[in-house]
Amino acid sequence: MKSFILLFQCNDAKGIVAGISAFILKFDGNIVTADQHSTDPEGGHFFMRVEFIIDDTRHSLKDLKDDFLPIVRKFNATADIYNKHQLLNMGILVSKADHCLIDLLYLWRSKELLVNIPFVISNCNQHRDLVEQFKIPFYFMPAKKDNKMEEQILKIAAETDFLVLARYMQVLTPGFLKSYNKDIINIHHGFLPSFKGSDPYRQALEGGVKVIGSTAHFVNENLDEGPIISQAVEYVTHKDDLENLLSKGRNLEKKALSDAIRSYIDYRIIKYGNKTIVF
Amino acid sequence: MKSFILLFQCNDAKGIVAGISAFILKFDGNIVTADQHSTDPEGGHFFMRVEFIIDDTRHSLKDLKDDFLPIVRKFNATADIYNKHQLLNMGILVSKADHCLIDLLYLWRSKELLVNIPFVISNCNQHRDLVEQFKIPFYFMPAKKDNKMEEQILKIAAETDFLVLARYMQVLTPGFLKSYNKDIINIHHGFLPSFKGSDPYRQALEGGVKVIGSTAHFVNENLDEGPIISQAVEYVTHKDDLENLLSKGRNLEKKALSDAIRSYIDYRIIKYGNKTIVF
Amino acid sequence: MKSFILLFQCNDAKGIVAGISAFILKFDGNIVTADQHSTDPEGGHFFMRVEFIIDDTRHSLKDLKDDFLPIVRKFNATADIYNKHQLLNMGILVSKADHCLIDLLYLWRSKELLVNIPFVISNCNQHRDLVEQFKIPFYFMPAKKDNKMEEQILKIAAETDFLVLARYMQVLTPGFLKSYNKDIINIHHGFLPSFKGSDPYRQALEGGVKVIGSTAHFVNENLDEGPIISQAVEYVTHKDDLENLLSKGRNLEKKALSDAIRSYIDYRIIKYGNKTIVF
Amino acid sequence: MKSFILLFQCNDAKGIVAGISAFILKFDGNIVTADQHSTDPEGGHFFMRVEFIIDDTRHSLKDLKDDFLPIVRKFNATADIYNKHQLLNMGILVSKADHCLIDLLYLWRSKELLVNIPFVISNCNQHRDLVEQFKIPFYFMPAKKDNKMEEQILKIAAETDFLVLARYMQVLTPGFLKSYNKDIINIHHGFLPSFKGSDPYRQALEGGVKVIGSTAHFVNENLDEGPIISQAVEYVTHKDDLENLLSKGRNLEKKALSDAIRSYIDYRIIKYGNKTIVF
Question: Which amino acid would we find at residue B43?
Answer: G
Q: Does D225 have pLDDT greater than 90?
A: no
Separation between Cα atoms, residue C194 and residue C243, nearest integer Å:
20
**Contact: C36, D41; criterion CB under 8 Å:** no
CA D66 to chain centre: 27
**Average pLDDT across chain D, whole number:** 94
Catalytic pick among D98, D224, D241, D259? D224
**Average pLDDT across chain C, whole number:** 94
- Residue B32: list chain A partners with CB under 8 A: 38, 41
Mutate to test the interface with A, among B8, B10, B11, B14 (most CBs of A within 10 A): B14
Q: How confident is the model at residue D166, as a pLDDT?
A: 98
pLDDT, tens only, B87-96: 999 999 999 9
The answer to whether residues A241 and A148 belong to one domain is: yes
pLDDT band at B194 (very low <50, low <70, confident <90, very high): confident
Quick check: ipTM above 0.90?
yes
pLDDT band at A92 (very low <50, low <70, confident <90, very high): very high
Name which of B209, B228, B231 is nearest D228 (Cβ-Cβ).
B209
Mutate to test the interface with B, among A31, A48, A266 (most CBs of B within 10 A): A31
Name which of A233, A235, A238 is nearest C277 (Cβ-Cβ).
A238
- Residue A32: list chain B partners with CB under 8 A: 38, 41
The answer to whether residues D56 and D92 belong to one domain is: no
Separation between Cα atoms, residue C225 and residue C275, nearest integer Å:
10
Q: How confident is the model at residue A114, as a pLDDT?
A: 96
Name which of A102, A133, A247 is nearest D106 (Cβ-Cβ).
A102
B73: distance to nearest CA of chain C, Å?
Answer: 32
User: C92: which strand partners?
Assistant: C120, C164
Give, rounded to a whole angstrom, the gap between the first and last alpha carbons of chain A: 24
Q: How confident is the model at residue B196, as a pLDDT?
A: 82
Nearest C-alpha neighbor of B34 from the set A266, A37, D240: A37
The answer to whether residues A175 and A49 belong to one domain is: no
Nearest C-alpha neighbor of D52 from the set C12, C41, C20, C16: C41
The answer to whether residues D144 and D271 belong to one domain is: yes
- Residue A238: list chain C partners with CB under 8 A: 37, 275-278
Cβ neighbours, 10 Å, residue D135: 8
pLDDT, tens only, A187-224: 999 888 887 878 889 989 999 999 999 999 999 998 88
pLDDT band at C258 (very low <50, low <70, confident <90, very high): very high
* Mean pLDDT of all residues in C60-88: 96
Minimal-distance CA residue of chain C relative to A47 = C238
pLDDT, tens only, A52-88: 999 989 989 999 999 999 999 999 999 999 999 999 9
Element (H, E) at D9: strand D2-11
Minimal-distance CA residue of chain C relative to B255 = C251
B260: distance to nearest CA of chain D, Å?
Answer: 12
B188: distance to nearest CA of chain C, Å?
Answer: 20
**Contact: B13, A31; criterion CB under 8 Å:** no
Q: How confident is the model at residue B269, as a pLDDT?
A: 98
Phi, psi (rounded to 5 degrees) for C252: -65, -40
CA B106 to chain centre: 18
- Residue D275: list chain B partners with CB under 8 A: 208, 238
Q: How confident is the model at residue D199, as a pLDDT?
A: 86
**Average pLDDT across chain B, whole number:** 94
C107-110 contacts: CB < 8 A, separation 24 or more?
Answer: C107/C258, C108/C134, C109/C134, C110/B98, C110/B99
What DSSP line would sit under C48-63, residue for residue? EEEEEEE-TTT--HHH
Q: Does B41 have pLDDT greater than 80?
A: no
> Residue B134: helix, strand or coil by DSSP?
coil
What DSSP line would sit under A200-243, residue for residue? HHHHHHHHT-SEEEEEEEE--SSTT-SPEEEEEEEE--TT--HH
C138: distance to nearest CA of chain D, Å?
Answer: 38
**Contact: B106, C110; criterion CB under 8 Å:** no
What DSSP line would sit under D217-274, residue for residue? EE--SSTT-SPEEEEEEEE--TT--HHHHHHHHHHHHHHHHHHHHHHHHTT-EEEETT
Give, rounded to a whole angstrom, the gap between the first and last alpha carbons of chain B: 24
Name which of C3, C14, C30 is nearest D30 (Cβ-Cβ).
C14
Q: How confident is the model at residue A218, as a pLDDT?
A: 98
Query: What percent of chain C is modeled with pLDDT above 70?
Result: 100
The answer to whether residues C163 and C108 belong to one domain is: yes
Residue D179 CB-density burial (10 A; 0-12 exposed, 13-18 middle, 19+ buried): middle
Q: How confident is the model at residue B192, as a pLDDT?
A: 85
Mutate to test the interface with A, among D49, D96, D102, D107 (most CBs of A within 10 A): D102
User: Are the beta carbons of B16 and B243 closer than 8 angstroms?
Assistant: no
**Contact: A278, C238; criterion CB under 8 Å:** yes
The answer to whether residues B40 and B175 belong to one domain is: no
The answer to whether residues D110 and D241 belong to one domain is: yes
Three-state SS annotation for A26-50:
HCCCEEEEEEEEECCCCCCEEEEEE
> Residue A68: helix, strand or coil by DSSP?
helix
- Residue C22: list chain D partners with CB under 8 A: 18, 21-22
The answer to whether residues B270 and B180 belong to one domain is: yes
Catalytic pick among B98, B103, B224, B240? B224
CA distances from D120 to A23, D131, D139, D157 (A): 56, 7, 6, 10
Last residue of a domain, one of C53, C83, C113: C83
pLDDT, tens only, C156-187: 999 999 999 999 999 999 999 999 999 999 99
Supply the CATH number for residue D257's domain.
3.40.50.170
pLDDT, tens only, D10-67: 999 989 999 999 999 999 998 888 999 988 877 789 999 999 999 989 989 999 999 9
pLDDT band at C42 (very low <50, low <70, confident <90, very high): confident
Q: Which of B30-44, C102-116, D77-91, D130-144 comes out lowest in average pLDDT?
A: B30-44
pLDDT, tens only, B257-274: 999 999 999 999 999 999
Separation between Cα atoms, residue D15 and residue D28, nearest integer Å:
20
* Mean pLDDT of all residues in B98-126: 96
Query: What percent of chain A is modeled with pLDDT above 90?
Result: 82
Supply the CATH number for residue B42's domain.
3.30.70.260
Q: How confident is the model at residue B255, as a pLDDT?
A: 95
**Contact: C208, A228; criterion CB under 8 Å:** yes
User: Are the beta carbons of D262 and D115 closer than 8 angstroms?
Assistant: no
Last residue of a domain, one of C51, C83, C115: C83
Residue A198 CB-density burial (10 A; 0-12 exposed, 13-18 middle, 19+ buried): exposed
The answer to whether residues B239 and B159 belong to one domain is: yes
Q: Does A2 have pLDDT greater than 80?
A: yes
Q: How confident is the model at residue A209, as a pLDDT?
A: 95
Q: Give the catalytic positions of A in this structure.
A: 224
The residues of B whose Cβ lies within 8 A of any Cβ of A are 1, 3, 12-18, 21-22, 24-25, 28-38, 41-42, 51, 53
pLDDT band at C126 (very low <50, low <70, confident <90, very high): very high
* Domain residue limits at B63: 2-83
> Residue C220: helix, strand or coil by DSSP?
coil
Q: Does A257 have pLDDT greater than 90?
A: yes
The answer to whether residues B194 and B102 belong to one domain is: yes
Phi, psi (rounded to 5 degrees) for D142: -70, 65
A11: distance to nearest CA of chain B, Å?
Answer: 12
The answer to whether residues D74 and D200 belong to one domain is: no
* Mean pLDDT of all residues in A257-267: 97
Mutate to test the interface with C, among A38, A210, A279 (most CBs of C within 10 A): A210
Mutate to test the interface with B, among C98, C110, C265 (most CBs of B within 10 A): C110
Q: b/e map of A3-40 (b: 16 or more CB within 10 Å)?
A: bbbbbbbbebeebbbbbbbbbbbebebbbbbbbbbbee
Name which of B14, B31, B51 is nearest A25 (Cβ-Cβ).
B14
Last residue of a domain, one of D60, D83, D106: D83
Q: Does C41 have pLDDT greater than 80?
A: no
Cβ neighbours, 10 Å, residue A210: 28
The residues of C whose Cβ lies within 8 A of any Cβ of A are 37, 191-195, 207-211, 213, 227-231, 233, 235, 237-239, 274-278
Name all chains with 3 or more CB-CB pairs below 8 Å to chain C. A, B, D
User: Are the beta carbons of C128 and C140 closer than 8 angstroms?
Assistant: yes
In chain A, the number of structural domains is: 2
> Residue B193: helix, strand or coil by DSSP?
coil
| Cis bond upstream, residue D200 (ω within 30) | no
Name all chains with 3 or more CB-CB pairs below 8 Å to chain D. A, B, C
Q: How many CB contacts within 8 angstroms connect chain A with chain D?
A: 13
pLDDT, tens only, D226-273: 999 999 999 999 999 999 999 999 999 999 999 999 999 999 999 999
Q: How confident is the model at residue C198, as a pLDDT?
A: 81
**Contact: A106, D110; criterion CB under 8 Å:** no
Beta-carbon-side half-sphere exposure of residue D218 (alpha carbons within 13 Å): 22
Q: Does A35 have pLDDT greater than 80?
A: yes
Q: Which residues contact D127 (CB under 8 A, 6 or more apart)?
A: D94, D98, D101, D120, D138
**Radius of gyration (Cα) for chain D, nearest Å?**
21
Cβ neighbours, 10 Å, residue D216: 28
Q: How confident is the model at residue D125, as a pLDDT?
A: 96
A269-272/A275-278 β-pairing: antiparallel
The answer to whether residues B187 and B242 belong to one domain is: yes
Separation between Cα atoms, residue A98 and residue A169, nearest integer Å:
12
Q: How many CB contacts within 8 angstroms connect chain B with chain C?
A: 13
Catalytic-residue membership of B224: yes
What DSSP line would sit under C120-153, residue for residue? EEES-GGGHHHHHHTT--EEE---BTTB--HHHH
pLDDT, tens only, B46-101: 999 999 999 989 989 999 999 999 999 999 999 999 999 999 999 999 999 999 99
pLDDT band at B195 (very low <50, low <70, confident <90, very high): confident
